[in-house]
Structure 1
Amino acid sequence: MHNSGDHPLTMGQLSMWRALSVRPPEQLWESNLDLTWSTPAGTTEEQVRQALTALAVRHESLRTVYRAADDPGGVRQVVLPDPIVRFTEASVRDPFDLADAPAWRAWVRTPDDGGTPQVRVLIHHIAADGAAVRILESDFHALLRGDRPADAPTPREVAERQRSDVFRAKLVAAGDYRRRIVAAVPKVPVSRGPMVRACAHTGIPYGAVRDTARQLGVTLPTLLLTVYVQALVTTTGRPDQLLWQLSSNRMDPTVRRLVSSMTQLVPMLVECDPDGPLRPLARDVNVAAARALQHGVYDPFAVEATDFDHGTFFTFIPAPADAAADPAPSDPEPRRIEFLAPRAHSGASFYVLAEVYPYVQLTMRVMRSGYGRPEVERFLSTMTDLLLRAVKDAA
């Protein structure tokens, strides 16, 4: 099969490539995303296959393989002109060979009772990040209806733009910022321990935290970050905190519909008096977060590799795009903490993922000595208490 030439990677793709290069072989599967998409009643398997094939025609990342280079930062992406959709079932633990075929596969699962087919999709994070998988699902349903979505931007166009003379100053500034913030917080010796995972089902409705953020004059991610900082200072006794947030790098309208890996980790430094008023702290966190996100695109091979034991890590999952049209619950629910099975040992040793819709859920993963179930439960309870207090004070 002929290809359309090779191209450099975006900085987001490069970040994922660098992370993979130091990961043990048995952990390579941990970058696989396991998705389930619904289909309307009456949909046939052939219609699903046609829509998935059209999806691969539309988005180049679903037709891309990756070629290593002697210089690790010189890896290339090769875009295949024709779609290769593998419809055979696979396990999420099966690693993709990124040089062999596009890093995704999909198959149709029809219930035994003959109900509506569901689509299972396995896709590697280098081909699609969290925002991109939502775009893929939306486009899949549009294609299934027979609609024709607008043309999509391509990773290779973004990669070329990120290597332009105009963009170079931005990369340099982002690298300088990252080095300065990381150096400002001394490393605390950390030894890794067994993984503990838990999810705090806070019972706090989406609308309540959205309105609280508006009342404080900050974004919803900032509110969650502020409460995260408060919980860290309360439980560790350290007033200064190095936080790493996952940046979607989609503030530029030209890349908001891009299907690729755009995300990169960016650091921020926050000092906090846990007994102080929330509003000024939230404003400080908002400024620090905005400054960090302005430096979200950087060359991962021009800076030191991320030390996943230095600081703590945070990811915010926004409400779906159609949340405003979907009546969200307004009444609180009972809170509870659910301990989860260990998964994905690579990456950060202290990590919280915050989801907000329809209720706030806080999923915590820790692999540090001194953090067992009691400590994890205390942290999640502290963070939930602080968020509840913020919501009540704003009401």
Structure 2
Amino acid sequence: MHRMSRPRTPGSTHTLTVTYAGGEERRGPVTMGQANMIRCMLRDEPAHINIHDVWPVPVGTRTDSVVEALRSLVVRHEALRTTFPHAPGGTPREQAVASAGRFAVTVLDHAELPDDVLGYAESLARRAREERFHLDRDFPLRIRLLTRAGAPVSVAMAASHAVTDAGALAVLKEEWLALLAGEELGPPASLTPLDLAAEEATPAGLRTSEASLRHWERIIRTGPQAMFAEPGAEGTEVGTPLLTLRSRRAARALARVAARTGALPSTVLLTAWCALVAHRAGQEACVIAAPTSNRYHPRLARSVNTLSQDALLSLDVRVPSFDALLKKAWGAALNAYRHSRFDALRLWEVIDGATYERGSRFARDVVFNDVSTLPPTVASLTADGPRAAPGESGAADRDPDGPELELTWGPEQVLPTRLLTFVHATGPLLHLGMWADPELFGRAEAEGLLTGLVRLLEAAATQDVPLASLTSATGVRPAERGPEWLRVDGSWTSPPLVAATLSRALDGLPVHVTADAPAGSAPTRNALTAYIAAGDTPLTPARAHAALMDALPGRPGVLAPGRYVIVRHPPAEADRTRAWLHRQILGEGTGRQADVT
């Protein structure tokens, strides 16, 4: 492992105040992407949601040239002159573009710099992410200029995710370097945030958003509520260590699978990961969030804006072989990406309504973020991207051949997901970072999941692989669930666990939950019924359902019953469903509507 020499303390630090003037003062609604990120910024820790980048300064560049190029970018791009006015405690719905203003550049001068300047700059940029951006007043870039004896060496910055994403930072870096080289920049060819907001408000834009919402609602109503509904899966914020895979073996195998099948390497990798995750989770479908740049249209390709949103992919793995799954994955992924532009506030209304009716809690359990097509300097800079250990930044670039297969453990992050994967490169080596819930994946099992991915790619490199053979082909075993676990409405659940959770939510009232196939349905289509002994407590199905729904976060193995039956006293044999059937019913209903009594 490459190790960085001890960081040098800056010999002096001073701040340059840079004024700018130019462009039009404008005001208007936020874009869908901005609304999505603003919601996250108000909810999440800044170190998790802010992004960062490092821009090496060409040798011989003067400080005033660095600053002037930054000033030109600010005048050129409305996003960098944008704030989000809002009342205290409110959520911004509007953006304001200034025609003049100022920003700061903090200069950190050093007599000497560490051998790994990039790693040192990276650590400073990450540190700058830890402070929250004030949306109503802060300049969206927090800029540090590293100098050696007064000579600029590197720019390290944190950026507000409300106006930038990894693609936007790549555009800014490219244009900044062009300005330093003395090039003339043509007028921006992509939409500004305000122009995009206006387009999104047109009938065509609204239809796009509504189609995306319907896509999400269909999956949320029919797919598994959580990929990892199993013993040990608890909590909503999980401390997970980073495990990095770097493998030439895997890259060679990936290329051979792509050549054999005619599929894109990115689609092959996504298919392999879905097959493996669904196999490990014991699920019939793989539901994953795949963040996408939304920069496919020329009008958005070079937009300095926050465009990235989740594509929600549902891939039915009930097919005989890997090749058959690969054929399905292309269409499923394309459909997901087509539906990744949406009104985030409306989406959460849809999610809340659909899950309340279904009696589930949508879990963003699995996130798969393939940033391998982005420029290397920004490929790892998204909100939840890897936090490299000192001296590891850029390791793949310094060692282009890389190891045959290397697994490296890194620092821990607290994340609202159970399996997060970043793909940084697919050739000449496969380089990805994975964070897996340690309650579900011990260190050996987490390592086995990544080596299992390599084994699956190698097996599929020469021939089709039966999905029934995944355990022997990969070494990855399905989750072990006891006999009390069963599938209900497409999701794994445990009736005793549901009963215990509902009882706690109702202050200890006796509860019995049973699973039966509704009349006229297939035996595999179980439905839950909860019997509640309320005693003298005034209780309705609606109140019982509301109490259980409030208890669902962090309990992916719990589904709300489709029917609540309220009696006064529990039977003597409270563990037998037949005994509850002879109790006098005080009320019954779904709890989702007016109670039937």
> TM-score range with shorter-chain normalisation?
0.7 to 0.9
Q: Quick one: structure 1 residues 213 and 67, their matched pair in 2 at CA, closer, same or farther if it must change by over 3 Å? A: farther
Determine helix, strand or coil for the equivalent of 1:138: helix
Q: Quick one: structure 1 residues 102 and 393, their matched pair in 2 at CA, closer, same or farther if it must change by over 3 Å? A: farther
- CA distance in 2: counterparts of 1:388 and 1:166, whole angstroms: 45
Tell me the residue number matched to 1:319: 373
Determine helix, strand or coil for the equivalent of 1:117: strand
Determine helix, strand or coil for the equivalent of 1:370: coil
Whether 1:64 and 2:82 are equivalent positions in the alignment is yes
Question: Are the counterparts in 2 of residues 11 and 297 from structure 1 also a CA contact under 8 Å?
Answer: yes
The Cα shift of 1:147 comes to 1.4
- CA distance in 2: counterparts of 1:270 and 1:311, whole angstroms: 15
Question: Are the counterparts in 1 of residues 423 and 431 from structure 2 also a CA contact under 8 Å?
Answer: yes
Question: Are the counterparts in 2 of residues 309 and 349 from structure 1 also a CA contact under 8 Å?
Answer: no
Write out per-residue CA displacement over residues 202-225 of structure 1, whole angstroms, 9 at most, x where no aligned residue.
235868745643542333321221
Whether 1:309 and 2:363 are equivalent positions in the alignment is yes
Whether 1:197 and 2:242 are equivalent positions in the alignment is yes
Q: Quick one: structure 1 residues 340 and 283, their matched pair in 2 at CA, closer, same or farther if it must change by over 3 Å? A: same
- CA distance in 2: counterparts of 1:252 and 1:283, whole angstroms: 25
- CA distance in 1: counterparts of 2:89 and 2:151, whole angstroms: 51
Whether 1:29 and 2:79 are equivalent positions in the alignment is no
Matches within 5 A, 1:26-105: 27-68=45-86, 75-82=93-100, 84-88=102-106, 91-105=128-142
Tell me the residue number matched to 1:349: 418
The Cα shift of 1:65 comes to 0.8
Identity of aligned residues (%): 22
Root-mean-square deviation over aligned CA pairs? 3.1
- CA distance in 1: counterparts of 2:158 and 2:317, whole angstroms: 41
Q: Quick one: structure 1 residues 66 and 388, their matched pair in 2 at CA, closer, same or farther if it must change by over 3 Å? A: farther
Tell me the residue number matched to 2:307: 262
Tell which deviates more after alignment, 73-82 or 32-41.
73-82
Runs of 5+ unmatched residues, structure 2: 1-19, 108-126, 352-360, 378-396, 465-597
Q: Quick one: structure 1 residues 150 and 218, their matched pair in 2 at CA, closer, same or farther if it must change by over 3 Å? A: farther
Write out per-residue CA displacement over residues 7-41 of structure 1, whole angstroms, 9 at most, x where no aligned residue.
11111111111222333xxx123222221111222
- CA distance in 2: counterparts of 1:84 and 1:358, whole angstroms: 44
Determine helix, strand or coil for the equivalent of 2:220: helix
Counterpart amino acid of residue 118 in structure 1: S
Q: Quick one: structure 1 residues 342 and 331, their matched pair in 2 at CA, closer, same or farther if it must change by over 3 Å? A: closer
Question: Are the counterparts in 2 of residues 219 and 286 from structure 1 also a CA contact under 8 Å?
Answer: no
Aligned match of 1:9 in 27, 30, 36?
30
Runs of 5+ unmatched residues, structure 1: none
Question: What's the TM-score, normalizing by structure 2?
Answer: 0.59
Matches within 5 A, 1:151-300: 151-152=187-188, 153-188=191-226, 189=229, 190-192=233-235, 193-204=238-249, 209=254, 212-213=257-258, 215-272=260-317, 276-300=320-344
Higher RCO, Cα 8 Å, sep 6+: 1
Determine helix, strand or coil for the equivalent of 2:25: coil
The Cα shift of 1:333 comes to 2.9
Question: What's the TM-score, normalizing by structure 1?
Answer: 0.87
Larger Rg: 2
- CA distance in 1: counterparts of 2:441 and 2:106, whole angstroms: 41
- CA distance in 1: counterparts of 2:182 and 2:301, whole angstroms: 23
- CA distance in 2: counterparts of 1:214 and 1:258, whole angstroms: 34
The Cα shift of 1:391 comes to 4.4
Question: Are the counterparts in 1 of residues 84 and 92 from structure 2 also a CA contact under 8 Å?
Answer: no
Question: Are the counterparts in 2 of residues 194 and 369 from structure 1 also a CA contact under 8 Å?
Answer: no
Counterpart amino acid of residue 136 in structure 1: L
- CA distance in 2: counterparts of 1:21 and 1:237, whole angstroms: 35
Counterpart amino acid of residue 316 in structure 2: E
Counterpart amino acid of residue 103 in structure 1: P
Question: Are the counterparts in 2 of residues 64 and 78 from structure 1 also a CA contact under 8 Å?
Answer: yes
The Cα shift of 1:104 comes to 0.9
Determine helix, strand or coil for the equivalent of 1:170: helix
